[in-house]
Each structure stands twice: as structure tokens, then as C-alpha cells.
């Protein structure tokens, strides 16, 4: 078998850059495609001297003609601050991006994996969320460009599978954190850590009793690679996330404890359509992928704190 040629769209982003690192370790050739909307060349700088790594500035809403064996489609801003900054572009990236990458996969007969999201469940009315749940999404709200864009991308994946017999894999990714998160992207883990390290107020939205379940990025990347390796009968959608659930108040307190910061917790208004609770049911991932996240929140947070500490000291 020849060396696998793997395309990672959004490969200069937080998750994508870790995925590129890991795929290179397996001996594959990696083509990283990114328009640097939220990602950065710095995230993949460690790979630039690797002859099996190639970096291309490209927007996935435009057609792309390359020859590859596998496609991981991660291109899309993921934090509310960024995806709401240019919501029309967000929907275009998910929908036109999916069409182009599916068209590419169809032409070159590549396996293709979509980075979908727990946001397809919206503000869920069942808990924890299972893949068979259809979701509770507002189609016209501030988060809709992301949620509905991702839902439409899933529709396209399943229609290309039914209509054109494409080999598809859909991962529904739950909140993920770790080094290389964008320090200003407004997500809760990066916000709290940066605020704690700078001695600024910790901004807790609402009463802080809303919950999330956080997965360390290395665990997530392992799940994505396992999913790509499955036989053609496995399409997903399949939840990937860490089922250990915390309130945002607990997270704020843990970050304060781990950083030893003197920052104080202040309350800010809850953004609209903010889901009250979120926890993945990962029964399917355990069964089909033999996958379960291993990094405890404290351990993952310490690595993330170290990363941001280095970043702030260098600035």
C-alpha cells in the first residue's frame, strides 16, 4: 500500500493542528488546508520542515482539486465569538465547504470524515445526548449559523453516502479543550485560564449552574483517527466527548485552584440560546471504536494552563 495522503481542512486550527501532528507520527503524508480565519501557521510551525507535510492557504468555500486518500473536514470557526462575527461566512463554510469536500471525495474516491458538533442537539431536551436524538435547535437565532450549518453538512454527508455511495464518517464532537486554543476566542476554558493567569475577573455567565463536559484534545484526536479507520459500514453519526459533566461554576473554581490565582468570580449575563446542560452518551463510541477518553479534567487543565502561561510570558 502506498503512503496514505491525508487532507485536513482547518488543519491550522486548534483541533486540526493536533490531528496533523498525530497523522504525521503514523507516517502519513498530510496536506493541511486553512484560510487562517481563526487558525494560525504557528500551530503547525513544528511540521514545516517535515517533507511529508504540506500547508496550503485556501478557503473551502472554493473548489479544491488535489489527490488524496482521506479527508478530515474540520474547517469552520468553532467558538461563538468567531462564528457569530461573520455568520453568513460561517454557514457558507459549513455548507459550501461540505459540498466541495464531498465533491472532491467523490472524484478521488477518498474516505471523508466530518467534524460535526454537539450543537446539532441545540438546547437538548434529553440528557445525556444520544445519537438518535434529533435535537432542539433554534433555526433563526444567533447560534443558528453554526448549528444549522453543521446540521446541513450532516445532511449532505448522508445524501452523498446514499446517492453516490461515498465512504463517510460523521463525528459529533463535544466541548474540547487543550493547548493551542485561541486565547481570545471567548470559549470558557481559554477565557477562565487567561483571566486567572492575568489576575483579571473570571467572567461567569448566568448563575454558573449550566453544565458542559470537557474532552482533552489528545483523547478527541484519538477518537477521530479510530473513526476514520473503521470499515465502510460505519458512518456515524457518533458522539465523541468526555461524559464527565461539570457546572461552569465548578470549572471556574477549579481553574482558580490550579492556577493559584487571586482573581474573583464575577457574573455576566447569559448569552441567548446558551444550552443549559450538555453531556455526551458515548456508548456507541465505546462499542464501535473501543474508545473512551482517558485524561481527567485536572490533568488536561494543567497542560492547558502551562500552554497559556508560556504564551502570555512570550507576549
Residues that bind ligand NAD (CB under 6 A): 9-10, 12-16, 34-39, 59-61, 74-78, 93, 97, 115, 117, 173, 175-176, 182
Contact partner at residue 106 from ligand NAD, ligand UDP, none, CB < 5 to 8 Å by partner kind: ligand UDP
Task: Quote the least distance from Cβ 257 to ligand NAD, whole Å.
Answer: 23
Q: In which region does residue 99 sit, left (phi positive, over 0), alpha (psi from -120 to 50) or beta (all else)?
A: alpha
Per CB under 6 A, the segment of 97-105, 150-158, 283-291, 297-305 that binds ligand UDP is 97-105
Q: Which long-range contacts (CB under 8 A, 24 or more apart) does 268-272 make?
A: 268/203, 268/204, 268/205, 269/205, 269/206, 270/205, 270/206, 270/207, 270/210, 271/80, 271/142, 271/205, 272/141, 272/142, 272/143
Give the span between the Cα atoms of 148 and 174, in whole angstroms: 16
Residue choice 52, 86, 142, 205 for contact with ligand UDP (CB under 6 A): 205
Could you say whether residue 201 binds ligand UDP (CB under 6 A)?
Answer: no
x/- letters, 71..90, toward ligand UDP (CB under 6 A): --------xx----------
Between CA 19 and CA 56 the distance in angstroms is 16
Residue closer to ligand UDP by CB (options 30, 68) is 68
111-117/29-34 β-pairing:
unpaired
Among 245, 253, 271, 273, binds ligand UDP (CB under 6 A): 271
Cell numbers describing residue 12:
491550522
172 counts as binding ligand UDP under rule CB under 6 A: no
Question: How many other CB atoms sit within 10 Å of the CB of residue 296?
Answer: 12
Q: How far is the CB of 79 from ligand UDP (least distance, A)?
A: 6
Per partner kind, with CB cut-offs from 5 to 8 A, the member of ligand NAD, ligand UDP, none near residue 254 is none
Cis peptide before 46 (omega within 30 of 0): no
160 included as an active-site residue: no
- Classify strands 245-247 and 211-213 as parallel, antiparallel or unpaired: antiparallel
DSSP assignment, residue 43?
A: G
Least separation in angstroms between residue 2's CB and ligand NAD is: 27
Kindly tell me which of 86 and 274 has the beta carbon lying closer to ligand UDP: 274
Identify the residue whose cell numbers are 474508545: 291
10 Å Cβ neighbour count for 123?
18
Which partner from the list ligand NAD, ligand UDP, none does 173 bind, CB cut-off 5 to 8 Å by kind?
A: ligand NAD
Instruction: Mention every residue, 6+ apart, whose C-beta is less than 8 A from residue 232.
Output: 167
In the complex, least distance from residue 50 CB atom to ligand UDP, rounded to whole angstroms: 25
The answer to the question of residue 63 lying near ligand UDP (CB under 6 A) is yes
The residues that are catalytic are 146
Which residues are near ligand UDP by CB under 6 A? 63-65, 79-80, 99-100, 103-104, 106-107, 175, 187-188, 191, 203-205, 210, 212, 248, 270-271, 274
Amino acid at each position: 500500500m502506498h503512503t496514505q495522503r491525508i487532507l485536513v481542512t482547518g488543519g491550522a486550527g486548534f483541533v486540526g493542528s493536533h490531528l496533523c501532528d498525530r497523522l504525521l507520527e503514523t507516517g502519513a503524508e498530510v496536506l493541511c488546508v486553512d484560510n487562517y480565519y481563526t487558525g494560525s501557521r504557528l500551530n503547525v510551525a513544528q511540521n514545516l520542515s517535515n517533507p511529508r507535510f504540506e500547508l496550503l492557504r485556501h478557503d473551502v468555500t472554493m473548489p479544491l482539486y488535489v489527490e488524496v486518500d482521506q479527508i478530515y473536514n474540520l474547517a469552520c470557526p468553532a467558538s461563538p465569538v468567531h462564528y457569530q462575527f461573520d455568520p453568513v461566512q460561517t454557514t457558507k463554510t459549513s455548507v459550501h465547504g461540505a459540498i466541495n469536500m464531498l465533491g472532491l471525495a467523490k472524484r478521488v474516491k477518498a474516505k471523508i470524515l466530518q467534524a460535526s458538533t454537539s450543537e446539532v442537539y441545540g438546547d437538548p431536551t434529553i440528557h445525556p445526548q444520544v445519537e438518535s436524538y434529533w435535537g432542539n435547535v433554534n433555526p433563526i437565532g444567533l447560534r443558528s449559523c453554526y448549528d444549522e450549518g453543521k446540521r446541513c453538512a450532516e445532511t449532505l454527508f448522508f445524501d452523498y453516502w446514499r446517492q453516490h455511495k461515498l465512504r463517510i464518517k460523521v463525528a459529533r464532537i463535544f466541548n474540547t479543550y487543550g493547548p493551542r486554543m485561541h486565547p481570545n476566542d471567548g470559549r470558557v476554558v481559554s477565557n477562565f485560564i487567561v483571566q486567572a493567569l492575568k489576575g483579571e475577573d473570571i467572567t461567569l455567565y448566568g448563575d454558573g449552574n449550566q453544565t458542559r463536559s470537557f474532552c482533552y484534545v489528545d483523547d478527541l484526536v484519538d477518537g477521530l483517527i479510530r473513526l476514520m479507520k473503521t470499515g465502510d459500514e460505519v458512518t456515524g453519526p457518533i458522539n465523541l466527548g468526555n461524559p464527565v459533566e461539570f457546572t461552569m461554576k465548578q470549572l471556574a473554581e477549579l481553574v482558580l485552584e490550579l492556577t493559584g490565582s487571586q482573581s474573583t468570580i464575577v457574573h455576566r449575563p447569559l448569552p441567548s440560546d446558551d444550552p443549559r446542560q450538555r453531556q455526551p452518551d458515548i456508548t456507541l463510541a465505546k462499542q464501535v471504536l473501543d474508545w473512551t477518553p482517558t485524561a481527567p479534567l485536572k490533568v488536561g487543565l494543567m497542560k492547558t494552563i502551562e500552554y497559556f502561561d508560556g504564551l502570555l510570558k512570550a507576549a
